[in-house]
Chain A
């Protein structure tokens, strides 16, 4: 099969590549670009560890082809920190112990990045619904909800 040329902006940097059409977006990010912050968990669209932000929308990168990202912009966990300063969500996960093993964390952060832009004053219940496509096997979610609330408060105070 002929390879397909793509140009994708990832975390503000433009990348071009010739890829197989069947290459999954998560493999493109991890193996072609060596951005291994995005994790592969279940590989079956359930766990959300591979969540990235594509043109402003959170998606499971194990369930998208890299060719679909041609000409578009992606944000991964590596792009959250700005000028050496953690994103309020990253700070929240640190302050509130929102992670234990850390495997789900990149996905949790990317889902939250979009969610808090749309709702910076969420209830705990709204947060739990928002992360219902991101599975965590360690924390029991309590501290993840707290981390989201911590970030929401920082963002309302203008810390973002």
Chain B
């Protein structure tokens, strides 16, 4: 399969890349890891006239911690998340998420920022980033602006990025003490999109009650879903089995799956219930210092 012809641009600085996006308009598409874009171009689902390859812009491939945040640069690859020490110790749920995305070969190219910027509800990082309360940094002609992750996915394959903006960084707040997370995904086989996925991030107070709950759902709606009602329900409660069960049912009711080759809507909704229950139990154990 061969994509339609396009004009190739390879800017060496961020300013140059933004100027190209301004000049070329909506017919230009950014190429970073390319692991979603190139397959779509080969299938001719998209045929951009211009490709702006940002891979040769130096200094964008970082994953580092500063100012109370993990900062993930536009060109940081999924494989880096899996192997980063700071991620393993302070943000294990991010490594857990990366580990179930596609396969190791795809992860050596695919970028974390691209996983969000693609706006695909089937992608895995949106749910985890919703659970963690991340912030997206967009850089454009007017400079940098920050967008809360809950405002980043207005619709199917649509993000809050303007046409002339580049997603240059993801900022994830360092979880406070007594925090734990989990990402659970059911996939038919390695490399498939989730039938459903659930990300949970909990912080407990000193009494062991839930101080903050973040819950994101993968591939059960037109956009990644932040399970706001479930989060509110959990806040302030002791997380006993009955509470977790109620929360799981609430999360299932917040999902909006559709029938497709991966299963019926009813099946997927029940899957959200089961995965949410399990993810909450695992996250709770981890918040208490367990595995």
List chain A positions with a Cβ less than 8 A from chain B. Answer: 1-2, 4, 20-22, 24, 27, 43-46, 48, 51, 57-60, 63-65, 67-68, 70, 111, 129-130, 132-134
Contact = CB atoms under 8 A, between A and B. Distances in A.
Interface string B8-23: 1010000000000000
A65 B190 CA distance: 24
Nearest to B55: A68
Contacts, number: 84
B53 A68 contact: yes
Q: What 5 A-B pairs are tightest by C-beta distance, nearest first?
A: A133-B103, A21-B8, A133-B105, A132-B190, A1-B5
A24 B6 CA distance: 13
B104 A43 contact: no
A20 B5 contact: yes
Nearest to B108: A57
Nearest to A129: B104
B39 A133 contact: no
Contacts of A48: 103, 105
A132 B51 contact: no
B1 interface: yes
A43 B1 contact: yes
B8 A63 contact: no
Contacts of A27: 2
B106 A60 contact: yes
Contacts of B7: 1-2, 21
B99 to A, nearest CB: 9
A91 B210 CA distance: 56
A130 B3 contact: no
A59 B34 CA distance: 11
Given A43-B1, A63-B38, A1 B103 contact: no
Contact of B3 (A22, A64, A67, A111): A22
Interface in B108-130: 108-109
A22 B2 contact: yes
A129 B102 CA distance: 12
